[in-house]
Amino acid sequence: MIKGKNCWVQFSSHKELRTDNFNSNNSVKAQSVLRSALPVLMAQQCMGMGLIPDGSVLQSHVPYGNGGGNGGGLNTILRVVVDNALYPVSLDVLHGIFSRFGKVLKIIIFTKNNQFQALIQYPDRNSATMAKQSLDGQNIYTGCCTLRIDYSRMDQLRVTYNNDKSRDYLNPNLPSGDSQGVMMYTDNLRQLQASMMQGQQQPLMHAFGGGNSNGNGNMMNDLLQSGNGFNASMLQSAFGRQGFMGQSNSANSVMLVSKFDEELVTPDVLFILFGVYGDVMRVKILFNKKDTALVQMSEPRGAQLAILHLDRVKLFGKQIRVTASRHTDVQMPKEGQPDSGLTRDFTNSPLHRFKKPGSKNFQNIFPPADTLHLSNIPPDVSEEDISRYFQEAGFNVRQCKFFPKDRKMALVQVASAEEGVEALIKMHNFQLNKNTHLRVSFSKTNIREQQ
């Protein structure tokens, strides 16, 4: 209902509206009518309803707040889940994206079930509805960081600190509290290179064009030009000072790994662990500093993911450090030069996970966890067999379950994420029978969620 009159909204066969200078007044009126009708149309699509005869789609009988289902009904607070989060997503990045649809009042970010999530509050339901309709299913970056959006059941967000985890934009004077950075990504965010995928001309997604646009724009470019106060310093805050949007002067595929147990860690151990995040080409443990190694990946993207997920992870009881190296490649020892097996070339290894273009492994990269994903299981191997193999290898198996619809895959839960790292290293490529070897990776979900 607009100005007391019922209005009907339907899709037109026209692809665009054309106006000219002689009809500027009519153009202004038409745009005003369209802006007034848009919230009604968006609510209609969101709720799957037809227009009510009196035009009052947004009356109180439309559920909101504590609605049913996975999320709430029409509400001012959105719950955002970032699927396939290969790259950092900061609070400022989310604010820049979502403020295009209205004033963002508050944001809280957190991790649940190994998934990056956020709660975002608008002042009105119309803004929240337009943001949900426009952004749900979109990628922040090409092929990853997919936004899954529904309405929260909460009526109000309570923010007590303004820091990297929460922000009240109406109360900038709140204390910073204990700011450790985004929970899902340790304090290594600011060390990451901003060049996300070397060799790709469009490392970031087509934004707000629905993913089927002509590809001329991307979300970050739109944000930088939007006038919403989102600028280069925010991107640098999120991704490091080397640059952003695929423009880095020092994208590197070599990492420096240090502070590991030199008695237990070998080049093969590092190859298996770092191979979860990219194809490892070479590993060199330093001859005069055997708790330190250089690991070279096939591309910078793999190195960045490994830094993101493995820095400060515990390996055989010691917290390792993983940083970008100043070296651009790992040199093999010269002929006759003593090496004691400290340098290995894995270029032609059959265990590379990402050598096939478009492999599903690119979509299943997760941080270390106590739950492991197993695949390539032959039909004659049972859950009891798998549990026994892990137990005989020295691991405390809490649960083991096949996938309900695919017995070639299973989940195994061990005592801790630290034990999960060691189990992956030891059990990946474990021989199940004469012709079959086990494939192991970290799981996004636990066994209870899978059920």
Q: What pLDDT, on a 0 to 100 scale, did the predictor assign at position 17?
A: 67
The stretches of 240-339 forming alpha helices (DSSP H) are: 267-274, 300-310
Q: What pLDDT, on a 0 to 100 scale, did the predictor assign at position 188?
A: 39
Q: Which residue has the higher pLDDT, 121 or 65?
A: 121
Residues 6+ apart with CB under 8 A from 413: 370, 371, 372, 397, 398, 399, 400, 446, 447
In percent, the amount of the chain with pLDDT more than 90 equals 43
* pLDDT bracket for residue 1 (50, 70, 90): low
Residue 308 has pLDDT above 90, yes or no: no
Q: What share of the chain is helix, strand, coil (3-state, %, to 5)?
A: 25, 20, 55
Chain segment 345-367, per-residue pLDDT in tens? 999 999 999 988 777 787 788 89
Distances from the Cα of 182 to the Cα of 88, 89, 305, angstroms: 8, 8, 16
Give the Cβ contact number of residue 93 at 10 Å: 23
Residues 6+ apart with CB under 8 A from 68: none
Chain segment 173-214, per-residue pLDDT in tens? 899 875 443 333 333 343 343 333 333 333 333 333 333 333
Helix H or strand E segment including 25: helix 24-47
Residue 65 has pLDDT above 60, yes or no: no
User: What type of residue is 412?
Assistant: V
Distances from the Cα of 362 to the Cα of 23, 113, 233, 274, angstroms: 53, 20, 30, 14
Burial class (CB in 10 A: 0-12, 13-18, 19+), 375: middle
Mean pLDDT of 262-266: 96
* pLDDT bracket for residue 51 (50, 70, 90): very low
Q: Which residue has the higher pLDDT, 255 or 112?
A: 255
Give the Cβ contact number of residue 388 at 10 Å: 13
Here the tokens at position 422 are: 């060691």
- What Rg value do the Cα atoms of the chain yield, rounded? 26
Query: How would you classify residue 3: left for phi > 0, otherwise alpha for psi between -120 and 50, otherwise beta?
Result: left
Q: What pLDDT, on a 0 to 100 scale, did the predictor assign at position 18?
A: 61
Q: What pLDDT, on a 0 to 100 scale, did the predictor assign at position 36?
A: 47
Residue 217 has pLDDT above 80, yes or no: no
Separation CA 144–CA 164 (nearest Å): 22
- What are the beta bridge partners of residue 81? 117, 148
In the chain, the largest separation of any two C-alpha atoms, in whole Å, equals 91
Separation CA 283–CA 275 (nearest Å): 11
Of 140, 143, 175, 142, give the one whose Cα is nearest residue 161. Answer: 175
Q: What pLDDT, on a 0 to 100 scale, did the predictor assign at position 409?
A: 94
Half-sphere exposure of 23 (CA within 13 A, CB side): 9
Name which of 349-358, 419-428, 432-441 the model is least confident about. Answer: 349-358
**pTM of the predicted model, to two decimals?**
0.52
Q: What pLDDT, on a 0 to 100 scale, did the predictor assign at position 451?
A: 56
Residue 76 has pLDDT above 70, yes or no: yes
